[in-house]
Amino acid sequence: MRGKAGRGAGCIVRAQSALVALMALLAAAPALAQAIPAPPRHPNIVILLADDWGFSDVGSFGSEIATPNIDALAAAGMRFSNFHVAGSCSPTRAMLQSGVMNHRAGLGNMPETIPDEHRGKPGYDTVMNLRVVTIAQLLKAAGYRTYLTGKWHLGSDAKRLPGARGYDRAFSLADAGADNFEQRPIEGMYDTAAWTENGKPAMLPKDYYSSRFVVQKMIDYIEEDRASGKPFLASVNFLANHIPVQAPDSDIARYSAMYREGWTKLREARAKRAVALGIMPAGTTMVTMKTTPDWAKLDAEERAAAIRVMQAYGAMATAMDREVGRLVAHLKATGDYDNTIFVFLSDNGAEPTNPYNRLRNRLFLGMEYDTSTANIGRRGSFSAIGPGWASAASSPLSGYKFSAAEGGLRAPLIIAWPGHPQVRAGAINGGLAHVTDILPTLLDLAGVPGQDGTWDGRPVERLAGRSLVPMLGGGAGSVHGDAPIGYELSGNAALFRGDYKLVRNLAPTGDGNWRLYDIKTDPGETRDLAAAMPDRFAAMRADYATFAKDNGVLDMPAGYTADEQINRYAWQKQGKKRAIQAGLVLGGIVIGLAALVWAWRRRRRSRA
């Protein structure tokens, strides 16, 4: 009996000890829960896509334009000084959205610049085709909310608007550009300003200004779905600084004392700043493009108009930068900033097109807009910086939008993840990077799987880009190594391989001959190495031929230029309207001249 009692007492003691231990564990549970790290939350992603900004249009890349908020992202992240896109907007946007080369994505050319002979050919859909998977589709499948505001320009039918390509909400413009102050198209190019919200025609507010609106709409989307607790993809696609160049009066006034020395002086000043910042190598030399007018030969009226339009251009960029700052401030206030990856880039180099370089254009635009010098950049204006200022915006590079020169293809890129060790803050990376790299980079940083050649049970185009994460961490060189990267648009073509670039430009920026440059030491493309390196030149010509065959690149018709094709497109699109209006103007001129002749003859008869 005593033994059983002893064993019973021992069991009670052990039970009491276990109970005490359990209570101690329960008491310590909150501390243990805090010690165990929570599963990582996918980062938010914000893409800030500028339109037609030249390589040195950002302050942290050498500009005199005030861009403090974009510069703050540069300080918090990494600047890429050797990043390449396409020579015009839609091909770049297709590659950014899909990670696939532009011909394979359907944008071998844009609807506004494609010659009739190429329409409907494989790779020349002029819209982003359904064989590619977008970043929105991939992130949405991983549990992201997906939003897009601003310019889309990748298709306007129900299957190709943003809502059909993975975006939960989208307020988008299907055209290349539109007015920045009202719901008005680029007159002569389009019948209407094709804005839609979630696939349905949409109206802009009365107080609309493009940069302010696309940011506010994005903030609204983010907040309306905040209760879901999901991370978000926010693709903000600005109209700034696409034609028409327009900005608030207060921003234009800020630049009232600037740009009076002309584009050549500005080009030189920006080149010096880019070298001082470490964006360009010391000793970088420049060429003067043959399409750049001589500032000294302009008359007083021409200079006044040129100065005013560049003041409006700087103002438009500053107005956009202010909205970037407003979005960043909002994300800081909501606690999202530290877990948000920011990507800032431009879709191509600066726009050189001068819409007033033909008499018929001047007559038409003069009837549609207030083209006075005092109104340049304001509501009701239609302004463009032209090749002179575009050469400065691309400084110290050669060429600009549409060309395959570095000024057309090399764009500013900033990637920031504030406070996160995977992105080296304040650094500059000079390794070769490409727009198709953005999608795999963001998927890599977010821990989201990509597509492997199939999606939703069907074959799709494989990714062409590579993750830039090794470069973001400070790795030297390029993730592409010595692998060739080809490019073609409107007959202007290039092939990148390591530090070297093979390039061909058609008129008006080139002569159709292939050239070879070391773009690491000579980013201005001033020293052709084709004769000095015949083996490399021949090997890269062969690499380009392979690229062209694999991507279905077509030769351009004789005499083709993008500028001529844009004008042909506009006059075909709006030919009747323009012809009537131009006829009225010319008729008025004829009547006026006839009246003057009649009055002159009458005076002569009266004197006789």
Q: Residue 7: what pLDDT? A: 40
**DSSP H or E run through 166:** none
Residue 26 lies in a domain: no
Q: Is the pLDDT of residue 12 over 50?
A: no
Tokens of 476: 């030297």
State yes or no: is 89 an active-site residue.
yes
Cα dihedral 20/25/30/31 (nearest 10): 110
Q: Please indicate, yes or no, whether residues 578 and 482 belong to a single structural domain of this protein.
A: no
The domain tally of the chain equals 2
Of residues 252, 455, 478, 487, the one with CA closest to residue 348 = 487
What's the rounded Cα separation, in Å, for the pair 479 and 484? 12
Angle value at C-alpha 288, between 286 and 292, nearest 5 degrees: 145
Q: Are 526 and 433 within one domain?
A: yes
CA-nearest of 131, 296, 303, 319 to 210 is: 319
CA Rg value for the chain: 29
Question: For the chain, what's the residue count?
Answer: 608
Please check whether residues 578 and 506 belong to one and the same domain. Answer: no
The answer on 578 and 456 residing in a single domain is no
E-state strands within 380-510: 413-416, 427-429, 433-434, 454-455, 458-459, 485-489, 492-497, 500-504
Separation between Cα atoms, residue 528 and residue 522, nearest integer Å? 10
Please indicate whether residue 242 is annotated as part of the active site.
Answer: no
**pLDDT confidence band for 32 (50 / 70 / 90):** very low
Residues 366-413 have pLDDT tens digits of: 999 999 999 999 999 999 999 999 999 999 999 999 999 999 999 999
In a domain? residue 354? yes
Average pLDDT over residues 526-554: 98
Catalytic residue among 42, 84, 89, 118: 89
CATH label of the domain that carries residue 73: 3.40.720.10
pLDDT value at residue 35: 47
pTM metric for this prediction: 0.89
pLDDT grade, residue 592 (50/70/90)?
low
DSSP state of 553: P
Do 546 and 578 belong to one domain?
no
In a domain, 396, yes or no: yes
Q: How confident is the model at residue 41 (pLDDT cuts 50, 70, 90)?
A: confident
**pLDDT above 80 (res 585):** no
Asked if 65 and 117 sit in the same domain, the reply is: yes
Secondary structure (DSSP) of 37-83: PPPPPPPEEEEEEESS--TT-SGGGT-SS--HHHHHHHHHEEEESSE
**Mean pLDDT on 321-327:** 98
Domain range for residue 472?
44-551
Does residue 565 lie within any of the structural domains? no
Which has the minimum average pLDDT: 64-73, 317-326, 475-484, 544-553?
A: 475-484
Say whether both 473 and 602 belong to one domain. no
| 546 and 579, same domain (yes or no) | no
User: Are both 532 and 581 inside the same structural domain?
Assistant: no
State yes or no: pLDDT of 37 exceeds 90.
no
* 451 and 583 both lie in a single domain: no
- Identify the CA nearest to 417 among candidates 166, 97, 73: 73
- 318 falls within a domain: yes
Same domain as 169, residue 108 = yes
Chain segment 414-438, per-residue pLDDT in tens: 999 998 999 999 999 999 999 999 9
**Are 402 and 334 in the same domain?**
yes
Percent of the chain with pLDDT over 90: 82
Buried b (16+ CB within 10 A) or exposed e, 204-226: beeeebbbbbbbbbbbebbeeee
Q: Is residue 8 situated within a structural domain?
A: no
Q: Are 98 and 461 in contact (CB under 8 A)?
A: yes
Catalytic residue among 103, 153, 242, 480: 153
How far, in Å, CA of 438 to CA of 99, rounded?
7
In a domain, 36, yes or no: no
Residue that is written with structure tokens 């001589």 in the block = 294
Give mean pLDDT, residues 157-173.
97
Contact 65, 57 (CB under 8 A): yes
Q: Is residue 567 part of a domain?
A: no
